[in-house]
Amino acid sequence: MRRSRIVAARVSRAARFIELPFLIERYQALADSNLAFRNRDAALYYLGWNLEELSRRKEAAEYFERIRREFSDSEYWCHAAFALAVWANEAGDYDRARELIDAALNHPPDRAILDRLFYVSAKTAMLQERWASARLDFERLLSQCANSPLRQ
């Protein structure tokens, strides 16, 4: 039974990679079209994540930056800033990560990712040896995100 689940998971993942180029093509057409439509930010967001799935992070970052520039009222704005902050943190660009985290926290933050924003903020502060700031971020995570799995 376990072996069949593993095989099924591998087949599902393979199917996803076959499907991704088609999805990317469709999202790019929507994102780059001159037609006015109200979900362009969603197309940019999903295009970015599909590119990330294919390890094309640089291209994904360009679409997330576009969301930040062109769609400040978008429900995807904080998510895009968060992804860019995580990637900057992983690349060792802690100043850029801090800038993006602060922007996301000062923007009306999405409650769904608030805990992760505090966590990445704390992680970035620790990597910069800013211990008081890291402590404050962890305290905010504990006090403002009661149901977060990061509390455990």
Contact yes or no for 80/68 (Cβ under 8 A) = yes
pLDDT band at residue 71 using 50, 70 and 90 as cut-offs = very high
pLDDT band at residue 93 using 50, 70 and 90 as cut-offs = very high
pLDDT surpassing 60 at residue 115: yes
Contact yes or no for 152/118 (Cβ under 8 A) = no
pLDDT surpassing 50 at residue 132: yes
Q: Which of 34-38, 63-67, 135-139 has the lowest mean pLDDT?
A: 34-38
Give the burial string for 104-113 (b: 16+ CB within 10 Å, else e): bbeeebbeeb
Q: What pLDDT was estimated at residue 121?
A: 95
Among 77, 23, 78, smallest CA distance to 47 is for 23
Q: What pLDDT was estimated at residue 124?
A: 95
- DSSP string covering 58-96: HHHHHHHHHHHHH-TT-TTHHHHHHHHHHHHHHTT-HHH
d(CA 146, CA 141): 8
Does this model's pTM top 0.75? My answer is yes
pLDDT, greater one: 136 or 24: 136
pLDDT, greater one: 147 or 67: 67
d(CA 64, CA 78): 10
